[in-house]
Structure 1
Amino acid sequence: MKNNLIIFPTDTVYGIGTTLYDTLGINKIYEIKGRDFNKPIAVLCANLEQIERFAKLTDLARLIGQRFWPGGLTLILETTEEYYEKTGEKTIGVRIPNHKLALEILNENGPMKVTSINQSGEPPLNDYEIIFEKYNNVVKKIYKNNETIQEVASTVISLVNNFEIIREGNITKNDILEVLKSLEA
């Protein structure tokens, strides 16, 4: 049986996703990937207004986001009370991809829980034909890519409690520090 899961390209990798509160879809993503349920799935959004629906955007988060979004940056933020009550999640990773089709999909569907399409622990898949062959029978739709994919996972920064770089991608620690220095000026 098909579900509401879709696979689509982003600026970094192809992702598998579903709408923000689709618990069955989210569980299916974990199942398809063989992903540990303790590893959270980030949310992709089309704009800051979508992020504000479920996460607390601090001044620092806005500053960093305005500099690097849309793009390969995931910020881990505290969730809103409403989101926490619905999901039990106190923190969440958010990102605005720099990819025309991904942004169209996110504008149409709203914020989506999205993670790379691959088996957990394996490199992300970015070849449409391989993805279609492997996953067409388990998702509602697979979108073909017409733009460049960096094939580098996003930089991940936690802004919960303190500033911490979790994973460095194309946006480097120095890039982030330059933005932080502008705050001190």
Structure 2
Amino acid sequence: MPCSPPPAAACAPSTALISPMANPASPIPASSPAASIERVLSNVILATSPSEGTVRHSTMDPGLRRGDNLSRRAFEVIDGRTGGMVTRLLPEDPAGIAAAAETLRAGGVIVMPTDTLYGIGADATNEAAVARVFEVKGRGDDKPLLVLAPDLATVEREVMLSSSARTLADRFWPGPLTLIASRRPDASLARGLNPAGTSIGLRVPDRPATLALLRAFGRPITAPSANRTGDAPARSAPEALRALGTLVDLVLDGGASKESRPSTIIDCTGARPRLVREGALARASIQSTIRELD
């Protein structure tokens, strides 16, 4: 079963096995060489104990061979302690995007590629789903979650953009720039995104598949980096699974991220824009634009 709140202590990556999307009626015994994921796959996702679970055949892939690569294939992550399926690893194709949108509609938590790093996605309007993202991250509620939206119009329905913020959005969206703005009184976004305040950080990503997911889902999606707090952010689906294990319900594999930095963050709630975090956008470009706004 997916990890769910509370208690928080239960939300820790579990020992897990990787299997192809399965025909449960055709298990491979744990004693089989195929059950030793570390020996079968060259890019092992998780440290596993083969004796604690089974690997199943797939109707898509008849079996696994030594050196097989997980990228762009559909797999299940199996909890080694229970043998139960808890996470799906899907390629970022139309079927995978549709499955991810359905998981989000059900209140689930996913990992998805963005135009920067891999992120932890949940329905940004669902308080319970947002709370679960904090637990998956192992993050205190003093650090708000950032949100992705499909377009500027969606952002403006949720927050109040100043003229400076609008200029920045027009110049850098879609792209790796997060703008912090004050939420509208009638915003649909969960208040749990920022329990200590009324501002929200949003951006429109510059990645067609991520935008396709946002449009298929129809609501903003959370997007903090896919890692436990204090750890390095994931730049691929295998790294995300290694970091988060079975804490999430579904992982979309869009290949390795080309960007190694998170989004740049600018706070637009004050009299003038303020650079909060340097990131994927060139510092000189941001500073030049901010100077133009003075």
Calculate the TM-score normalised by the size of structure 1: 0.88
Higher relative contact order (CA 8 A, sep 6+): 1
C-alpha distance in structure 2 between counterparts of 1:85 and 1:74, whole Å: 16
After superposition, the Cα gap between the structure-2 partners of 1:147 and 1:52, relative to the gap in structure 1 and judged at 3 Å, is: farther
Please tell me the residue identity of whatever aligns with 2:289.
V
Partner of 1:169: 279
Task: Report matched runs for 1:85-164 at 5 Å.
Answer: 87=191, 89-109=197-217, 110-132=219-241, 134-135=243-244, 137-146=246-255, 148-162=257-271, 163-164=273-274
Distance 1:183 1:165, change over 3 A: closer
Q: Is the 8 A contact 1:84 1:90 kept in 2?
A: no
**Ranges of 4+ aligned residues in structure 1 off by more than 6 Å:** none
- Trace 1:59-78 onto structure 2 (pairs within 5 A): 59-78=163-182
Larger radius of gyration: 2
- Greater helix share, 1 or 2? 1
Count of equivalent residues: 184
State the alpha-carbon separation in 1 of the partners of residues 226 and 141 from structure 2: 16
Distance 2:247 2:277 in 1: 30
Name the CA shift for 1:170/1:129 in 2 (closer, same or farther; >3 Å): closer
**Structure 1 unaligned residues grouped into runs of 5+:** none
CA-to-partner distance for each residue in 1:139-184, whole Å, 9 max, x for gaps?
2321111474302011110011132101111323421233345557
- Whole-angstrom CA distance in 1 between matches of 2:279 and 2:239: 25
Q: Distance in 2 between matches of 1:136 and 1:159?
A: 36
Amino acid at match of 1:72: P
CA distance in 1, matches of 2:278, 2:126: 29
Following TM superposition, by how much is the alpha carbon of 1:35 offset from its aligned partner in structure 2, in angstroms? 0.6
Name the aligned partner's letter for residue 220 of structure 2: P
**Do structure 1's residue 38 and structure 2's residue 146 form an aligned pair?**
no
User: What is the aligned-residue identity percentage?
Assistant: 29
Task: Tell me what 2:129 maps to.
Answer: 25
Structure 2: state its 5+ residue gaps: 3-106
Q: Which AA in structure 2 matches 1:102? A: T
In the TM superposition, residue 131 of structure 1 has moved relative to its aligned partner by: 2.2
